[in-house]
Amino acid sequence: WITILIIAIIVGAIAWLFDYQFSKVRISSNIEECEEIIDQYGGNYLSHLIYSGDKQFFTNEDKNAFLMYRYKASSLVVLGDPIGDENAFD
């Protein structure tokens, strides 16, 4: 039974390390880019939530619109509509 316990601990440790290593998505913009977009194009009723500290941001290639999202349970959960230039939403 000790062998089974040791194997279970090793498998659990490997699973924990694998989950921890890949738990964060590394596509993020900084808050200054988002503030510039809000200053230029205006925000919406959720714009103030960029300061909550629990969200990440994805900015498009032209840097004129962004999404707020959070990684939760192996999913990306987007908060609200895109913010920025409405022509960039398509």
Tell me, what's the pLDDT at 24? 56
Residue holding tokens 């925000």?
43
Domain of residue 54, residue span? 27-88
Q: Is the pLDDT of residue 19 over 70?
A: no
Rounded Cα distance between 88 and 74, Å, is 27
Q: For residue 17, tell me if it sits in a domain.
A: no
85 with 72: CB under 8 angstroms?
A: no
Q: For residue 1, tell me if it sits in a domain.
A: no
28-57, pLDDT tens digit by residue?
Answer: 568 889 999 999 999 989 889 999 888 888
Q: For residue 49, tell me if it sits in a domain.
A: yes
Quote the number of domains for the chain. 1
Q: For residue 83, tell me if it sits in a domain.
A: yes
Residue 46 Cα distances to 13, 23, 31, 38, angstroms: 39, 25, 14, 11
Q: For residue 36, tell me if it sits in a domain.
A: yes
Q: For residue 62, tell me if it sits in a domain.
A: yes
Can you name the residues that pair with 57 across neighbouring β-strands? 68
63-73, pLDDT tens digit by residue?
Answer: 899 999 988 77
Q: For residue 74, tell me if it sits in a domain.
A: yes
Residue holding tokens 């390390």?
17
Q: For residue 43, tell me if it sits in a domain.
A: yes
